Chains A and B, each alone.
Chain A
Amino acid sequence: MKKILKSSAIAITSVAVATMAWSAHAVDLNVVSWGGAYTASQINAYHKPYTKKTGVKINSIDYSGGLAEMRAQTEAGNVTWDLVDVVLSDAITGCDEGMFRPINIDKEMAAAPDGTPASKDFLDGTLQSECFVPLIIYSTVFAYRADAWSGKKPTSIKDVFDTKNFPGKRTLQKSPVNNLEWALLADGVPLAKVYDVLDTDEGKDRAFAKLATIKKDVIWWTVGAVPPQLLADGEAVFGTGYNGRWFSAIAEEKQPFAMLWDGQVLDIDGFAVPAKGKNVDEVMKFLKFSTDTQRLADQAKYISYGPARKSSGPMVSKHATLGIDMGPHMPTKYADQGFLTNFKWWADNSDEMKERFAAWLLQ
């Protein structure tokens, strides 16, 4: 027994020494993102060039979004993530709760090639949280099966709610976010007024009432991969989804889908740095590198999300493997047909609206 104890003690010590030596030898950065084609685009555009330049190894970790894991790590005082790819609304919440570190965008991030400071170079409306460096603009947007109504084509969000002229199942995200806005748009509320109307009790009732008109024709999805699948299987004729997913279904898999850009809801995705991360200094260098003009423009070669910097826009070129011109597939090109999510409104109202939405689904 003593012998076993002794030898295991030796083993443990040597492992510990080895790990310490290993961690002293090189700092690996744990960068967390959404996985799939999106992470692949980041590995190609940010990670590989950075490792080549500095020798710092980047571990790519997948997660499915949300702040649950981040909050658990922060509360346990053991933060193993160095950089997290989050949607803006999560960055705002995480920033308010002290999970993320504030960033001085002009001092700590790279300026545009022509010298424009970073805060002026990022697109208007993207810098809504001081803990957040925007990367891409994506949109949640409708697509439809082009072969569904023998030549008839939907042109506006109103057609989605018109089950007479455009029959068939619709697949929508199981969440009040975006759906309430679309319901109001379809009910005739102008783009600019949507959140003003939604802020009133009558407006909320009106949105739910409009949504109820198509309730029995809706298949609700919760995972972003599902809507393209449902359309491909012919289970649904309309679907909402992330524009990048639609792009790969249409351009890469040659599915007979078409985009309905009308009413697209633009959202912003970017990096946030965990406040209690272990390698803050190292990760800030990586963050500065990966969010510069060239890197953001490079990313658009691999995925159809719009770069968040004005200076990256003109540099967007062709898809790396398909050779398609990426410009027409960027949601930013159709920005005037859609609107930006009102993060402040949702931050205040999502608890109540999500409960009401869940209750509405049960009715």
Chain B
Amino acid sequence: MTDQTAGNGVVLAADGTPLKASLNRALRKNRMRALLLVAPLMLFVLFSFLIPIFDMTFRSVDNWHVGTLMPKTTVALADWDGKDLPEEPVFAALVADLRAGAKSRQIGKVGTRLNYEKSGMRGLITGSARKSKKLKDGPYKAKVLKLHKKWGQLETWTVIKRNTTPYTIGYYLNAVDMKYDKNGEIVMQPENRRIYGKLFMRTFAISLAITIICVILAYPIAFLLATLPLRYSNLLMIFVLLPFWTSLLVRTTAWIAMLQSQGVLNDLFVFFGMVDDDNRLQLIHNLTGTIIAMTHILLPFMVLPLYSVMKTIPPTYMRAALSLGANPVVAFVRVYMPQTLSGIGAGSVLVFILSIGYYITPALVGGTDGTLISNQIAYHMQSSLNWGLAGALGALLLASVLALYLLYNRIVGIDNMRLG
């Protein structure tokens, strides 16, 4: 017995402390060290990924504007039954809030927020705030009603009251083409304002089409890459990687030069008499352009995982199948293909998820019928400044990607995915 053993049977380390505790301490130290090593990555993910996602998702329900900037009106409206126009105290509170808001130069935020729910609210709020300074002492009801006829409409007050709550589902309703009607009931948007549902469907359809085309195109390329002798396959690999390393914008604009109606491809068609000069094909600024350009850009993401999987399949399997009497097609379908499934899965998930969120290429070549939901999100982030709606659309997109991921995990199993 070389171990030091205390009287009660506990194994002791060299310094006399119980071995278990000493070991734990050493392990903890190691764990801390490991944690320190990954800490930069964790912090990076936290700040550049998790916090922004949380922030944008929070914006999609956040509804602080009316409650914070029109506190008196919010309180005064609490007991309003919504059947008739509010009474004098509410109007007095409104004037006080408008005055304070005009002074602090914040009232525009309320106008912007309410205008999302009903057109014209921006002008009503900011215009009335400007004029509120000139209103002498009360009673205010008659005076405010004179400021703008909309103050005499029940709907105006319904909209304000609905948005006194700190959280809203308004942005999500908007994101699925619904809205509140005059009476505060949730209804579908009128036909001529429904866009997001259609765009979501189109985004999924286009992404699916691109994924399928990528599989069809990438499979033979990857097969050649994996089976050709090294000197040929290296050359082929360069052909795959060169575009991959080229700037996205360069590739997209190159496609514009290729596909436009006075472009290279159409010139060739006309030269060979395949199409009439007056009837050149419209290949860009539409759905066709989006699919062609995006397929080209995303193809390497399919080729590389497929290649890495095919590279590991021993050629002896196919030879064995053939020598056991299978014809080449059967051998390919039953022996070779099942082994590449994990590569197809990995490539498809990669391409599909990338194309769902694709933004710059459809914006440049998509025209009207080739733009995706991400273009609308970008529009609401950059131009309309409706960040709540952008957040809601983004959250829905994220949720649908997660749902697809779970579905994929259920059917194929995420452990079977190989990215190379």
Answer whether A and B are interacting partners.
yes
Q: Does A355 contact B (CB under 8 A)?
A: yes
Interface centre among A219, A358, A362 (most CB of B within 10 A): A358
Least CB distance, A332 to chain B, in whole angstroms: 27
Given A348-B122, A362-B369, is A234 in contact with B376 using a C-beta cutoff of 8 Å? no
Given A96-B108, A96-B126, A351-B384, is A358 in contact with B195 using a C-beta cutoff of 8 Å? yes
For B112, give the chain A residue with the smallest CB separation: A97
Q: Does B262 contact A (CB under 8 A)?
A: yes
Q: Does A124 contact B (CB under 8 A)?
A: no
Given A66-B383, A96-B107, A348-B119, is A359 in contact with B192 using a C-beta cutoff of 8 Å? yes
Q: Does B381 contact A (CB under 8 A)?
A: yes
Q: Does B68 contact A (CB under 8 A)?
A: no
How would residues 242 to 261 of chain B score, 1 for a CB under 8 Å from any chain A CB and 0 otherwise?
00000000000000000011
Residue from the list A68, A275, A347 in contact with B122, Cβ < 8 A: A347
Q: 8 Å CB contacts to A: which residues of B289-327?
A: none
Least CB distance, A182 to chain B, in whole angstroms: 18
Q: Does B386 contact A (CB under 8 A)?
A: yes
Q: 8 Å CB contacts to B: which residues of A194-246?
A: 208, 219-220, 222, 233-235
> Are A71 and B108 in contact, with the CB atoms below 8 A?
no
Q: Give the total of B residues in contact with A, Cβ under 8 Å.
A: 37
Q: Does A95 contact B (CB under 8 A)?
A: yes
> Are B123 and A235 in contact, with the CB atoms below 8 A?
no
Give the residues in chain B near A68, CB-CB below 8 Å.
Answer: 381-383, 385
> Are B192 and A356 in contact, with the CB atoms below 8 A?
yes
- 16 residue pairs bridging A and B, Cβ less than 8 Å apart: A68-B381, A68-B383, A95-B105, A96-B111, A97-B108, A97-B109, A98-B109, A174-B368, A235-B260, A351-B115, A351-B384, A352-B119, A359-B193, A359-B195, A361-B368, A362-B369
Q: Does B367 contact A (CB under 8 A)?
A: yes
By DSSP majority rule, is chain A's interface helix, strand, loop, or mixed?
Answer: helix
Residues of B within 8 A of A (CB): 104-109, 111-112, 115-116, 119-123, 126, 192-195, 198-199, 260-262, 285, 363, 367-369, 376, 381-386
Taken together as a complex, chains A and B put the C-alpha atoms of A97 and B111 apart, in Å, by: 9
> Are B261 and A235 in contact, with the CB atoms below 8 A?
yes
Q: Does A149 contact B (CB under 8 A)?
A: no
> Are A360 and B192 in contact, with the CB atoms below 8 A?
yes
Q: 8 Å CB contacts to B: which residues of A324-363?
A: 344, 347-352, 354-356, 358-362
Taken together as a complex, chains A and B put the C-alpha atoms of A355 and B117 apart, in Å, by: 12
Taken together as a complex, chains A and B put the C-alpha atoms of A120 and B367 apart, in Å, by: 45
For A229, give the chain B residue with the smallest CB separation: B256
Taken together as a complex, chains A and B put the C-alpha atoms of A208 and B191 apart, in Å, by: 14
For B202, give the chain A residue with the smallest CB separation: A362
Taken together as a complex, chains A and B put the C-alpha atoms of A362 and B193 apart, in Å, by: 10
How would residues 40 to 70 of chain A score, 1 for a CB under 8 Å from any chain B CB and 0 otherwise?
0000000000000000000000000011100
Q: Does A78 contact B (CB under 8 A)?
A: no
Interface centre among B119, B368, B381 (most CB of A within 10 A): B368
Residue from the list B119, B262, B363 in contact with A351, Cβ < 8 A: B119
> Are A354 and B376 in contact, with the CB atoms below 8 A?
no
Taken together as a complex, chains A and B put the C-alpha atoms of A344 and B125 apart, in Å, by: 12
Q: Does A8 contact B (CB under 8 A)?
A: no
Least CB distance, A173 to chain B, in whole angstroms: 12
Residue from the list A93, A97, A222, A233 in contact with B363, Cβ < 8 A: A222
Taken together as a complex, chains A and B put the C-alpha atoms of A360 and B367 apart, in Å, by: 14
Give the residues in chain A near B116, CB-CB below 8 Å.
Answer: 351
Taken together as a complex, chains A and B put the C-alpha atoms of A220 and B363 apart, in Å, by: 11
Least CB distance, B60 to chain A, in whole angstroms: 16
Give the residues in chain B near A359, CB-CB below 8 Å.
Answer: 192-195
